[in-house]
Amino acid sequence: MRVRVLRERCIGAGQCMRAAPEIFGSDESGGVRVESDAPVGDSEAEVLLAVQLCPVQAVLVADG
């Protein structure tokens, strides 16, 4: 699994950071950044929850 955040779409709601705090963090401009783009184990489930919770569908995952 690979994780991406579409920065142009992200509104900084923070749902992803609450769902998967080990994977998502905030950058200096208040946006979201991916701390680990290849989660494993329980983190994968947290990332899938983050995808569902994002109000603007800015969190993407792909096989890899």
pLDDT average per 10 residues of sequence, the chain (64 residues): 94 95 91 90 94 98 88
The pLDDT value given to residue 45: 96
Q: In the chain, what's the furthest Cα-to-Cα distance?
A: 30
- Distances in Å between the alpha carbon of 15 and those of 46, 53, 63, 64? 11, 6, 22, 24
Asked if the 2-62 domain carries CATH number 3.30.360.10, the reply is no
SS3 62: strand
Residue with tokens 């109000």: 55
Alpha carbon 15 to its chain centroid, in Å, reads 8
- Domain edges within the chain: 2-62
The pLDDT value given to residue 31: 86
